[in-house]
Amino acid sequence: MTTHYIDITLLPDPEFSHAHLLGALVAKLHRVLVQGQNTDIGVSYPQHTSQPLARRTLGVVLRLHGTPEALQRLMAQDWLKGMRDHTQVAALRPVPADAQHRTVRRRQFKTNADRLRRRRMQRKGETAEQAAAAIPSSVERRPDLPFVQLRSSSTGQPFCLCVEHGPLLTQPIPGTFNAYGLAHEATVPWF
């Protein structure tokens, strides 16, 4: 159960954008969660907004959720090395008693028909025409969700981690979180 939280706020930097710093912060968090095989740390982005002009930003605050023990264990590791000049880490605090809850999950989209066709040609040995017939351009979707730009540690390829905030709920739903601190069913407090 996520009873406590820690806010990590990105500080203004003349050399790096908030988007770049958030990507670096999320990548570091991902690595430490993978190494520790943590499934008890959730994240949220409390400055996420659905305003049309700011829709695709997650804001400058990464909020970690968990039990006091799980959060203290995470913060005892030196995973913020290299980010300390770019962040302000708040103290561990209890979640407000009247907080609502919501899921914060990853959404993946098939966004590039050409890439999908090339993959199909490699996997199935098809010609470009066969792959184009099997994968029409209509499969492409343009996500309008906020995202953080990351780089795959296995392939080195850049990708967008799109984040979707679910509806507000009055009761928490327990569960586990993935190596990005996201979950399809488990909720985090929202306040």
Q: Give the active site residue among 4, 30, 65, 165.
A: 30
d(CA 149, CA 159) in angstroms, rounded, equals 6
Burial of 179 (0-12, 13-18, 19+ CB in 10 A): middle
Whether 150 contacts 26, CB under 8 Å = yes
Q: Which two tokens stand for residue 155?
A: 């392939």
Whether 30 is catalytic is yes
**Phi and psi of 58, rounded to 5°?**
-95, 0
d(CA 62, CA 81) in angstroms, rounded, equals 16
Spell out the residues 6+ positions from residue 34 whose beta carbon is closer than 8 angstroms to its own.
179
H-type alpha helices, 37-143 = 68-75, 113-124, 128-134
**Phi and psi of 152, rounded to 5°?**
-65, 130
Name residue, tokens 């995973």.
79
- Name the residues annotated as catalytic: 30
